[in-house]
Structures are given as C-alpha cells and as structure tokens.
Structure 1
Amino acid sequence: MTAFREQYDPTSFLTIEQDRPLLLLHVFLMCFAFVILLPVSLMLSIAKSPLHTPIHVAFLSVVALGLAPGVVYKSRAPDLYPNNVHSKSGWILVVLLALHFVSGIFKTLLCWALAKPVDARPSSQQYAAADTVTLDGYEDETDELYSSEFGYHYTDAEHGGREYVLETDDDLEKLRLRHHPLSAEYKVQRYIANRLQPLRRLLGRLPDRLLSNFHTLTCVIFALLNRPMVIYGFFQITTGVITATCIGRSNKVFGMLAHIIKGAVFVWMGILTFGRVLGAFANLGWAWNLRPPVPRARQSLGARFFQCSMEMVESGLIFFYGVTNIFMEHLGNQDGKWSHKDLQHASIAFMFIGGGLCGLLFESTTIRRLLNAQVPMPAIRRKSAAGQQQSTTVDPRASQPVQYGFSYNPFPLFTIFWTGILMSQHHQATELSTKIHMQWGYLFAIAAVFRGITYIIMYISPPKSYHPSRPMTEVLVSFCLIAGGAVFMSSNQETVDSLLYYGVDGMFTMNLTVGSTALFMSWLMVLMALKGWASQRRS
C-alpha cells in the first residue's frame, strides 16, 4: 500500500488551489440549472402551463451565468485533461439550448399569430346565448388546451375550424369566467393578441402551406430537443465529473467508459421505472395499466410512435447495449492481448445480446401468432333449426387468455439478474474493487427478484383500469436500479484507486449512494406532483 501511495498521482482540477472558487461556482450554477430548473421547466412544459416560459428563461439565465466562470477558469487553469469531451460538448449544448429556445418561440408565435384574435372570440354575453363555441385554432395544441379545461366533444366545422360543444353548465360558466373582459387572463391574451397583429398581417401574406410546413418543422425540432435535453444535461454533468477528477485519460478511457455507460443505462432504467410508478407514460399503457383508447388524430407524436410495451423498449436497449459493449473492456488493454477477464466481459455482452433479442422476439405479435398456430383449435359448431338461419358458435376456450393484454416478458429481468450475480462474483485486482462490484451486483439481483414478484402479481390480477396500478414492488425495483447503476459508475478502476489512496473503506460508496438515491427519488416525486398541480391549475 505504501508503494501504491508513492506511485499514485492524485493531481486533478479539484486538488489544485488556483481559482478554485471559479470552478466551484461553475459547478454549483450548472448543477442548479440542470438538476433543479430544467426538470421543473420540463414538467411545466408537459403540463402546458404558462409558468413554463419564466422558469425556462430563468434556466437559460443560470446556464449563461454558470458558463462565464467556467470559461474564465479554463483560460487560467493548467491543461490537465487535453482534448476533454466536456468542453466540446458544452458548446454543443449551448447551440442546442439556443435552437430549442428559438424553435419554442416560433412555435408559440405561429400558434398565436394564426389563431383567431382574442377580440374575435365570443364575449360573455354570446356564451350565454349559445352552448357551442367555434374556434379557428390553427394547431392541435389549442384543441388540447380547451379540451382539458372544459368538458366537450368536437366535430369539424364546415368552414375549416372546429365546433366545440360544451357538455355541462359548469363548463359553460368556466368558459364565461375565463374570457370575461375583466379577467386577468383575458387581459393578458388580448394584450398579446394586439401586439401580434403586425406579425399576423405579415404571416397572412405567406402561403398557408408554407406556414403549415414551417410550423410542423418548429414543432418537430422542439419535441426532439425538449425531453431529451434532460438526458443531455445528465451527460454533461457526468463528463464534468470525469474531467474535474481527471479519470479516463489515454488508454484508460475504454475501461472507464464501459463502467460509466453501463451504470448510466441502469440509472435511467430506474428513473423510468419510478416514473411509471408515479403515473408517467400511462397514456402509452406503460404504467401497469390498460392503454386508454385515444383517437389517432388526438395522439401526440410520441404516442403514435411508441405503440409497443415498455418491456420491448427495455429489451431493445439491452440488445443495443450488448452489441456496443463487446470489445469495450478489451480495448483498454495495453498489450492488446485477450485475457480471461476480457472473455468474461465479452460473455456478459453476449448474454445481453441474446437476452435482448429473446425479449424482442417474445414481444413480437408475429412470433406469438406463429407459436399459437401449433395449438389445434376445436372445430366451429354450427346450429340450424327449421325456418331459422344458420348460426355459428365459437368455443370460448379458443379465445386468447386475459393475460395476453399485458406483457410478462421475463428476459429483461433475466438479464439484469444474471448480470448482478455474475458481477458480484467477478474477481478484481483489489479487495475494495471486489466489494464495490459485489454491492451493485446484489442490488441488480434484488431488483430483478422484485420485478419477478411484480409479474406474479400482475399475472394473478391483470390490470383492468386506465389508471396506473402503482405496484409497490416497483418502487424497490427502481431504487435498486438507480443505486446499483450509480455504484456501477463509481466502480471503474481509477475511481477505486483514488478511494484507496485516500483510505476510504468499501461501504463509503454504498452509504453515499443509498442516501443520495433516496433524496433523488423524493425530488422525482416532487416533480411529478408539480406536473399534476400545473395540469390541475390549468383546468
């Protein structure tokens, strides 16, 4: 151990004293922006709350404030990490944030400019005279806004607009109050509409098809950047930690990437699982519920694309993960020769490829139909009577089981379970590294066991409601996946060497991760509650 401490070089951006306050300020502002403000902005955006805009502007302002000390610090600090990814991806992030913000502005302006002016909307006296309202909305977001706030159904109007039929007197009263000339919201809408009159006249001179295509383009760009921006923020924070601690330099980058990428995959699987428990993706039937029958014209772009189960998504990720990680550990060898540890890592990648492929085939309706074709079906019995038409009776035992309506795909949990078991017994160079691998290995195995219990519960009593089932076992699954993934990320060799140098014991990572995971899950609950509050406030 003494020889190791003498040879180990702990120098990093965190250990040098030069301009450390600038680095700490940069880290604090960026973490505050991407961990606090960006998720809040995203939840308000999903809920279509008007509070989304000021929160997002605050997020961009904090990012700009955090970028300044980072640029100054980089110009003064020594170049301990040449050609690091964090700096390059940071400028890419700035471009994406600008593109996201500009696309959101144009998307909103087109909705406002091409919709009927507030002045032209029926007044409160007109609402009292008729229970139908015709809105010449340009985009489906207008429909979604009004349909969520007031109970109605709509039909296509003759002049190209939509006719909205209010279903109750209470809904009519809400609409009267909202568009009353003295209401604050009416004044704001009227002020904005008046300010947009020049833009509306300018856009009115352009062909409708051109405007429609441009609006579609801005909506697609905004949708592609809106939710994935959180993942990019996670990537940026992760690369920031790697750069600040100076790990993964030269040929060590491959072993570090293998642990970081694999651990991050499980962290996000845990986040998605906990989100499903809290009711996210219920419109897709991913919250252990029946998928609500929403007309295709009213579905979002994501709902139209994801017509599969969550188990199929997990299987696809597992398959992709295995394909891209076959040679990752081997590339880190200095001599380039295959060792028994390289073969162990490659065999785990093959397990991911096979498990993911089996999961994809298991979810295929074509494969299921071909497998069911091997089961002999009883002949259809026909009954006829004098003077009556011939009738057909189908044996009810020939119909599909009720369990076919829910996915019981065991291959994702099979892969996670055996990954945990194999890696918990994976031999390492030091005792500390072995303990850390054992920790996240057991966490993954426990997560797989609780997922199996969830399937047993759902098989006995399949979902019968459109509302999320919220099985309590999935809370434990998500906790184990998030905590296990975080420990996995910290189990790379350079991080373990740093822990050895500073004399940290094996339970340090476990204790720190468990506490942080509990706090993080509470923050996720707050975010989902905030989304519900914003939706309720809007309605």
Structure 2
Amino acid sequence: MRIHRVHSVALLIPALAAALAAATALPSSPSDTRSLGHVSPLSEQAERLLVSRDGDHGHGGHSHHAAPVVQLNETEVYMTHGTTPPSYYWHDIMEPPQDGERYPGLMGLHALSMSLAFFGALPIGIALRSVKHAWHGVTVIVFYGLVAVGLSSSALYRKLTPDLYEGSKHGSQGYFFLFCAVSLSALDLLSLVVRLVTYVRSIVRGEDRFAIKAFWNVVVLDRDQELSGADAEYTNLVADDPEELQEAELKAKDVDEESTDAEPLHVRRARIVEPIQTSFDSHEPTAQWAESVHRHARRPSYPRSAGSERTLFGPHSPRRSNDSLDETGHVYPWQGKDKRAVLRFVGRAAFAVAERALVFAGFMQVITGIVIYTGGCRGNWGNGCLAHLIKGGIFWCYGLVTFARFLGAFSDIGWAWNRAPKHHGRYPTAEFVESLVVFLYGITNTWMERFGAHKGDPYTTKQMQHISIAVMFWFAGLVGMGIESKRIRRWLAAGATAAIPAERRSQEAVAEPPQYIASFNPFPALCIGITGAAMSAHFQTYIFQVQIHMLWGYLLCGFAVLRCLTYFFLWLGPPRSILPSRPPTEALASFLLACGGLEFMFSTEEVTIAAMRQGHDDVMMFLNVGVAITCLAFCWTLLVVAFKGWLKSPTQGTMNFHSSA
C-alpha cells in the first residue's frame, strides 16, 4: 500500500506542474479571437467593461487579466520614473576617476566604526549593565569613541564629495539617535550623583561608615550594600536555615514519589497538597520582625506538581492562582507598592526598553545609509521603497527577537518558552507584546497607504489590498490582546464557574487545566501567515518581481505554520521548568521570519529593476544572499545572548540541576 502511495504522489507532481503551467500560460491576443469570425454583442460589451486595473503597477496599461512580462521595458520605466541620477556608489566605485580623487575609504571607515559602536559596544554594554559589571563604563567610553570616529570620517567625506542625494535624512536621524544615547548616559550620570549624595548624607548622619568597597558597590556599581551594623545583628533571626530548607525539599520529593507510585496523573493534578510544616512557618513575632527587617521572601514549603492545582475560589488554599483566573492578590509586580516604588519600576523598564531600542535604531541607520549611498528611493520610487523597507525591517527585527527568545533571552520574565522564575503570571506575556506590535503596525499602516494620493482621488485596487491587510493587523491585534487579558479570561470562565451552586462557591476548589500556565495565542502568526499568502499572489509587472514576492510570501507562511506547531506541542506538554525549553520549531520559525523580512526588503521595485538591468534577476541568488545575511545576524544574536548568559553564569554555582525526564 505504501508503494502505491509513493507512485501516486510521483505521478501527481508532474500533473500539478502541468496544471500550473497551463494556468500561467499567456492568453491569446485579441486579434486571434477576432479572427474566428463572428463576435457576439455580449463579448464586445464585456470587453469594453474590462479596464486596466488601477494601482497594480507603474508601467503602462496592462489589463487586469494580463500576464507578467518577462523582458524589461526600459521605455516604460523611463516614462514612469525618468532617468536615474548619479549616486555616491556610482561616483566612488563604478565611474572611472577622471575629474578628481574618490574617497570610498572614508565611507567604509564611517560604516565600520558606526557598526562596531551600535552592534558591538552597545550590546556588550547592555549585557554588562544587566549584571552591574564594573566594565560597563569602559564600554560606554568605547561606544562614544567609535561614534566620534564615524562622525569625523563622515564629515570629511561630505566635505570632499559633491552632494549626490538631495533631501537626505540619514544624518538628521543619526543625530537624533545619538541625542537619545547621550540622554540615557546623562540619566546614568544623574543617578550616580544621586547615589553619591545619598551615601555622603548617610555618613554625615552617622548611619554608615566610609569604606572603599562599600563606596564602589553602592555608588559606582549601584549594587546593594552588604550586611553591616544593625542588619548583621539580626541575620541569624531570619528563618532561612539551609538545613531546614533541604529537609523541606526532601520531604516534598518524598511526597511526590509516593503520590507518583500510588495515584494516577489526573488524581494528583486534582488533589490539594497540604503544606509541609517547617521552621519557616513560625508565626512568632520575633521571626516575623526579623523577616521584615531583611524583606526576606519565604520560599514555598509545598511540592510542585506537573499540573496546575491553583484554585479560583480558595483564597486560603496553598495553591492560589497567580495567573489568568485569580482575582485575589496583586496581579502585577508594581501593585501593592508606594508611588515612589512604582515610578522607579516604570523608569527602569522605560530605560531598559530605550537602551535596547538603540540597537534597532542602528539597524535603521544601516538601511537608510545603504539607500543614500546607492541612490535609491528617489522620485516616484519613494513611497513603495519606504513601504518595503519599513515593513520588511519590522519582520527582520521580529525574527531576530524570536530567535533570541529561543536561545533563552527574556527567560527571567517567562518569554523563553519557560515558566518565569518569579512573579509567574504577573508580567505581560510575550504573546501580548506581539499582539500589541501587530495592533500598532495595523493602525498606523491603515492611514499610511494613502500617502502620495491627492484629496478626492479614488481608492485604487492596490490601496484597497494593502489597507485591508492593515485592518486585519489592527483588529487581529486587538483580539490577541483581549485573549491575553487576565480580566477577559476571567469573564470567559464565568460561564463555567457560575454553574457552581452559590452555597459552595466559597469552599469549592476549581482545578485549572495545565495549559493555563502558558499562553497559546495564534493571532500574531495568523496575521503574518495570511500576509505572506496574500503577497505571494500580488500582481506585479514583471515575472521576476512575482517570483520574489512569492519567495518571501512563502517564507512568512512557513513561519506561521511553525509557530502553530510550537503551540501544538506546548499545548500537549506545557513548560514546567524555569529553564528555556527551546522548541526546535521556533528556531526554524525565527529563521524563516527574519529571512522573509529581508527578502521583503529586496523585493522593492527599484531593486528588482536594477537587478534585471544588470542581468542578476535570479531568484536563487536573492534567496542565497538573504540566507547568508540571516545566518550572519543569527551568529551575532547568539554571541550577544551567550555573552550575557556567561556574565550571569557565576550564579549557577549554587544551583543544582536534575533531569525531569
């Protein structure tokens, strides 16, 4: 039977190829149709109604049923876009040096120094800051030194080279990003001054004594000061005895082993486990006061099971839920704190986001720098070029972040396909952030599609195509954020919980499914997959442009399929460990997404026409170049994430790992 199936598949492939060839065959010309003799009035009326599709292309009057063209029509390109002005690349590399010296080396030095600053020193500095390393200040100095070299070489190049790109925004954008970097550094210095003043005041008041080590840790590195004075006096009063902790862990292990041997899995998931009594459970005033001095958070003394045993209505249950359905307690880590603590939390989060956004700003400068140097996106090419570069760049960055999540980045907040080590369920999920980005992408692109149109112009077919995709992103992002909302999830569960009799609701313990510990939200992947499927069928003037659009469309579809496979396998076995689970489908999905975004940027009309002019209109070449660049970027991502992990690796010296298989 298996042999017959293989033969049938082998026969099916040529049949599909023949069908596709027949579907893409060029239609017969009107003259051939009229040569048949009689033409019905209905045919003439239908032919008069067939007008050229608006907005599908920029070259002439192909009808809406015309096939893409194979050969480049230079006359149509000239009539639509005019002549191509000279560029810096043509001036430095292609044109023979007849009327003066060329200085491509200065531009190369500018590109190298700025790349080392934004993709070398800046990520290293961010990783060093995360562990409050002493060398963080050195990386800041190196960053600004490389920036100074890049700015000097760029200024000298502009002075020695004529202006070949009018209205360039590359320089102004670069200075804006540098201003943001300087602002963050100024906040760093201001924080250091505040710590210095606070430390000096504590010495003047007699609350502390000056010590070089304490000054270095507290003022320079912003680390917590070690125990001294009154704090050390109450150290032994804190209920944190390692022997008791180990004994409690052994008891928990024994309970798990006994229950594993005696009870099936569904019974253990539904059983409420009583907490094991240890010295941690002392309610004496002295112990409580000592714990408040240290702000010591007690570790739970009950064993963890494979399934979720948290309850919906049991506020005194040992397994209270911190996730989607819990109404009691603090849902977010900033709740229950004073305003100063909340502002400090928000400020640190905003600073971290802004600092990491500078890396993506550097990528934006790379793209605009390449455009300016090669003379792209001028004249009528502008709007389409910007659309491809911005949208493709978003997918590219999204793919790199997805690969970083696969490697283990953001595992401290549960974004690495793991359980968060602390505050589980109190941070926004990665799927919520993805849905938010999808929503912002859609709500902005909905209105940007009309850029360049005059007031009163009708909506073209291409505009309607792109606006509908943007609206899909808009509302699908809203649906995704709604699914991730804890309050909406509680509302959605109200139909089941309302069936419990009122007199039993205060005592009833409702077991949540094991899948509640993770998030399964397919809407971001759905938007990207549908976008890829739609754009792979997008009408283009030339067959090579159709093939490039099909290429990156299929890559985006592949990402969506693999992300759904990730959810499928995690649905069967939700993550139980705080360590990154690294599903292999995410490694492939991130690669396809990043490569698809890069091919998206390659598919601009100007680039494809330039490739056809130079005889480089080869889909395999475009794909191989995109794959090579993506592999290079993934190596950089791996180095950055691994370096940050190496900095934090000394903390693993006190950790014990065991297999959960």
TM-score for the superposition, normalised by structure 2: 0.62
2:118·2:358 contact (CA, 8 Å) conserved in 1? no
Aligned residue among 125, 128, 132 for 1:41: 125
Residue 337 of structure 1, CA deviation: 4.4
Aligned to 1:126: none
Partners of 2:477 and 2:384 lie apart in 1 by 23
Find the aligned partners of 2:347 and 2:391 in 1 and give their Cα distance: 34
Q: Describe how 1:308-327 pairs up with structure 2 within 5 A.
A: 308-327=428-447
In structure 1, the partner of 2:556 is 444
Which of 142, 145, 153 aligns to 2:223? It is 142
Residue by residue over 1:103-139, the C-alpha shift from the partner in whole angstroms, topping out at 9 and shown as x without a partner, is: 323323443554478974599xxxxxxxxx9x99589
Contact 1:107–1:219, Cα closer than 8 Å, also in 2 = no
Q: Is the 8 A contact 2:134 2:221 kept in 1?
A: no
1:54 equivalenced with 2:138 (yes/no): yes
* Distance of aligned partners of 1:40 and 1:380 in 2 relative to their CA distance in 1, 3 Å threshold: same
When residues 324 and 216 of structure 1 are mapped into structure 2, their CA distance, relative to the original with a 3 A threshold, is closer
Structure 1 Cα separation of the partners of residues 384 and 73 of structure 2: 25
- 1:421 paired with 2:536, answer no
Matching residue of 1:75: 159
Quote the Cα distance in structure 2 between the aligned partners of 1:392 and 1:77: 79
- The correspondence of residues 284-303 of structure 1 with structure 2, limited to 5 A, is 284-294=413-423
Instruction: Give the AA of the match of 2:631.
Output: A
Measure, in 1, the Cα distance between the counterparts of 2:609 and 2:458: 23
257, 276, 280: which one aligns with 2:409: 280
1:531 paired with 2:656, answer no
Query: Counterpart amino acid of 2:119?
Result: V
Instruction: Report how far residue 44 of structure 1 moved.
Output: 1.8
Match of 1:456 in 2: 568
AA paired with 1:508?
M
Counterpart-to-counterpart distance in 1, 2:187 and 2:590: 34
Aligned-pair distance for 1:338? 2.8
What amino acid is the match of 1:492? T
Identity %: 33
2:178 to 74, 78, 94: 94
CA contact (8 A) 1:41 1:56 kept: yes
| Counterpart for residue 267 of structure 1 | 396
Would you say the 8 A contact 1:29–1:62 is kept in 2? Answer: yes
**Alpha-carbon offset, residue 345 of structure 1:** 1.2
Counterpart contact for 1:49–1:535, Cα < 8 Å: no
Tell me the equivalent position of 2:90: 15
Q: In structure 1, give the amino acid aligned to 2:532.
A: G
Residues 171-210 of structure 1 mapped to structure 2, 5 A cutoff: none
Distance (Å, rounded) in 2 between the aligned partners of 1:450 and 1:113: 54
CA deviations 1:46-94 (Å, max 9, x no partner) are 2322222222211211110011111122233232222221011122233
Distance 1:495 1:334, change over 3 A: farther
Check whether the contact 1:8–1:501 (CA below 8 A) recurs between aligned residues: no
Unmatched 5+ stretches in structure 1: 124-132, 147-151, 170-211, 296-302, 384-390
User: Aligned partners of 1:39 and 1:164: how far apart in 2?
Assistant: 39
Which digits, 9 at most, give the CA deviation of each residue in 1:274-328, with x for residues without a partner? 1111111112211111222259xxxxxxx98xx2111111111111111111243
**Matches of 2:194 and 2:349 in 1, distance apart?**
14
Shift in CA distance, 221/290, structure 1 to aligned 2, threshold 3 Å: closer
Contact 2:439–2:475 (CA under 8 A) maintained in structure 1: yes
Contact 1:315 1:359 in 2 (8 A): yes
Letter of the 1:370 counterpart: W
Unaligned runs of 5+ in 2: 1-71, 93-101, 244-340, 654-661
Give distance in 1, aligned partners of 2:463 and 2:135.
Answer: 52
In the aligned structure 2, how far is the partner of 1:270 from the partner of 1:221?
23
State which structure, 1 or 2, has the greater radius of gyration over its C-alpha atoms: 2
Give the match for residue 367 of structure 1.
Answer: 488
| Whole-angstrom distance in 1 between the partners of 2:219 and 2:637 | 35
Aligned twin of 1:177: none
Distance 1:164 1:510, change over 3 A: farther
> Alpha-carbon deviations, 1:377-433, whole Å to 9, x = none?
5545989xxxxxxx9863x6x433221221111111111111111111111111221
Residue type of the partner of 1:444? Answer: L
Q: Any idea what SS the aligned residue of 1:14 has?
A: helix
- For the residues of structure 1 that align with 2:241 and 2:127, how far apart are their CA atoms? 29
The residue identity in structure 2 corresponding to 1:142 is: R
Partner of 1:501: 613
**Match in the other structure for 2:598:** 486
What is the DSSP-based 3-state SS (H/G/I as helix, E as strand, rest coil) of the residue aligned with 2:153?
A: helix
Q: Contact between 1:251 and 1:332, CA under 8 Å: does it hold in 2? A: no
TM-score by length of 1: 0.75
Number of residue pairs matched by the alignment: 461
Counterpart CA distance in 2 for 1:138 and 1:44 is 17
Deviates more, 1:258-267 or 1:331-340: 331-340
Paired residue for 2:293? Answer: none
Distance 1:537 1:21, change over 3 A: same
1:331-350 equivalent positions in 2, closer than 5 A = 331-332=451-452, 336-350=457-471
